[in-house]
A and B are shown apart, each in its own frame.
Chain A
Amino acid sequence: MAADRSTAELERFLAERADHLLRTAVLLTGSKEAGEDLLQTAVERLLPRWRRFDGDPEGYLRRTLCNLATDGYRRAGVWRQKERLLRTAARPSPDATGDVDLRDALVRLLLQLPVRQRAVLVLRYWEQLTDAETAAILGCAEGTVKSAGSRGLARMRELAADWNGTAAMCGGEGRQS
């Protein structure tokens, strides 16, 4: 049986891991504001369970982030429902300088993918989870993860191919670092 955990412990845990979780949330949503909102919501989900929480809080928060980002956010109760109307929404910051390389373009493409496909890529290549772990978090079959990841990567490769082709036409490889 789990011992009671204090709120101070939760604060300590968040002080240590919230930055990383925020980065995951931002990748799932596409903007800092939306990511912060998503993470805050996940912390609020954890809070009532915290005193008796017996498990990996980071894993719980990560799973909650994914669930909220993919489909749970719209059903999160009246307060959330209201807040959903007012919450900060996803928007990748445009690169006004033109100093864009393929990596940035890939991230922008990532943020335009369907949310579930995006979640798969974030979990696989940002969190570096296995297909099985990703499937467990998203609550789907491993095959679904593989196919979603494959589709997402295929679009990334198309972009990369176009990018390199354009770079070659423009006279070199300078656009890719």
Chain B
Amino acid sequence: MKDVEDLLREGMERFTSDLRAPAGMTRRAVQRRHRRLALRSAAAVTTALAAAAVILVAVEVPGASRGGPAVASAAVVKRVDNALSAAEPGDIAQMTVTTSGVTAFGGPAVTTTAEEWSYRDQWRSVTHSSAGHPLYDEGFAGSVYTLVSYQTRTWAREPGLGRAVAGLSSPAGCGLVPVPGRAAPQLFQPGLPGAGFSASSPPAAAARSLRAAVACGNLVVAGRQRVDGIETTELTSRPGSLISETVWVGPGTYLPVRMVVRSGAGQPAFRLTADISWLAPTARNLAKLTVPIPAGFRQVQLMAVVLPIVQQFPGKQKPRTICLPAPAGSTCQRVSSSYGGALAPVPQP
């Protein structure tokens, strides 16, 4: 009898014997890198939001400009941290985000609108069609993820899926900004399905972005402008930035009220507009964080809600398998490439 090591080796050989690496890996890597850079640039908007407040405070801190960059930054960070921590956990961040442009699956540019709310560890996001109809509604509260599809009139609820707001990692440097999407919807990033990007910027996340924003000096004050009747301070990204950002910051609050982000030259077209309000945590406002289950909708397994939505993502590079994250690993389900096959559970390691 052979040793088990030899048998294992032969088994591995047999298991993989007919495998051939797909062609075009380098080309795909280049394409994905470009897309990733574009999306990462878009994600920099959170830093921009924070930086907006930072710079505004910097302008108003007496002596800040004379104290040199290090002193000014330190003073600014402290002031803005205070300002934002005052908004968290006291306020609910509400955003209406309209995005247009690149998609994850290589399809034509799409335009979608999403409404988002975040408060403490909770979040909710409703994505609308271009005609204004709700497409899907998802939220995370109390370690439970809820998803409602208005197209298939189904809904699902899964304990232990999704992420709380407090998931934002520390920035690694100017080129790697923290990603607000991590703190927000896990299944579908709001605004642009499949793009892996969220404009969600809960106050806690914004506060953590401040130090990077200050260090990188992303924005400069461009002047004053009225936004929805409010006299705001306008800040824009420096010339030559990878993306073009404009942020309008409310007077006195140092909190952003609107932002527009465009991709830079040579990047896949992308544009994001977000109107932001800061709501008091009244019972009525807190109710916005709850995903309502409409009457007559059928409860099904989560994947049965997910797949019809994924099918509608534009583009040709559609995933064959969907893997949903969970704290203790992943819950994966596989479907056929034609999306016509039955769902099959995938064993977990």
Within 8 A of A (CB), among B104-119: 104
In contact, A44 and B29 (Cβ under 8 angstroms)? yes
Specify the chain A residue showing the minimal Cβ separation from B320.
A88
Give the distance to chain B from A101, nearest Cβ to Cβ, in Å.
Answer: 8
In contact, A22 and B26 (Cβ under 8 angstroms)? no
> Is A32 at the interface (CB under 8 A from chain B)?
yes
The answer, among A40, A78, A107, for a CB contact under 8 Å with B182, is: A78
In contact, A78 and B9 (Cβ under 8 angstroms)? no
In contact, A22 and B20 (Cβ under 8 angstroms)? yes
> Is A26 at the interface (CB under 8 A from chain B)?
yes
Give the distance to chain A from B320, nearest Cβ to Cβ, in Å.
Answer: 5
A113: chain B residues at CB < 8 Å are: 349
A34: chain B residues at CB < 8 Å are: 321
A33 to B92, CA, bound (A): 41
Give the distance to chain A from B136, nearest Cβ to Cβ, in Å.
Answer: 14
The answer, among A81, A106, A164, for a CB contact under 8 Å with B196, is: A81
Give the distance to chain B from A56, nearest Cβ to Cβ, in Å.
Answer: 18
> Is A130 at the interface (CB under 8 A from chain B)?
no
Within 8 A of A (CB), among B296-349: 310, 319-325, 330, 332-334, 344, 346-347, 349
The answer, among A44, A78, A92, A176, for a CB contact under 8 Å with B33, is: A44
A157 to B4, CA, bound (A): 6
- One digit per residue, 1 when the CB lies within 8 angstroms of any chain A CB and 0 when it does not, for chain B 2-42 equals 00110111111011100111100110111011011001100
A129 to B22, CA, bound (A): 26
B181: chain A residues at CB < 8 Å are: 78, 81-82
Give the distance to chain A from B324, nearest Cβ to Cβ, in Å.
Answer: 6
A27: chain B residues at CB < 8 Å are: 12, 15-16
In contact, B7 and A84 (Cβ under 8 angstroms)? no
Give the distance to chain A from B152, nearest Cβ to Cβ, in Å.
Answer: 18
- One digit per residue, 1 when the CB lies within 8 angstroms of any chain B CB and 0 when it does not, for chain A 26-53 equals 1100101111100110011011100000
A110 to B44, CA, bound (A): 42
| 5 new A-B contacts at CB < 8 Å, known A40-B32, A79-B40, A107-B12 | A14-B21, A30-B347, A74-B325, A87-B323, A107-B8
Specify the chain A residue showing the minimal Cβ separation from B323.
A89
> Is A10 at the interface (CB under 8 A from chain B)?
yes
Chain B residues within 8 Å of chain A by Cβ, number: 55
What 3 pairs across the A-B complex have the smallest Cβ distances? A82-B196, A89-B332, A103-B11
B12: chain A residues at CB < 8 Å are: 23, 27, 107, 110, 122, 125-126
> Is B276 at the interface (CB under 8 A from chain A)?
no
A10 to B321, CA, bound (A): 28
Specify the chain A residue showing the minimal Cβ separation from B11.
A103
A81 to B40, CA, bound (A): 12
A48 to B222, CA, bound (A): 35
Within 8 A of B (CB), among A64-103: 74, 77-79, 81-92, 102-103
> Is A138 at the interface (CB under 8 A from chain B)?
no
B330: chain A residues at CB < 8 Å are: 84, 89
Within 8 A of A (CB), among B60-104: 104
Give the distance to chain A from B124, nearest Cβ to Cβ, in Å.
Answer: 18
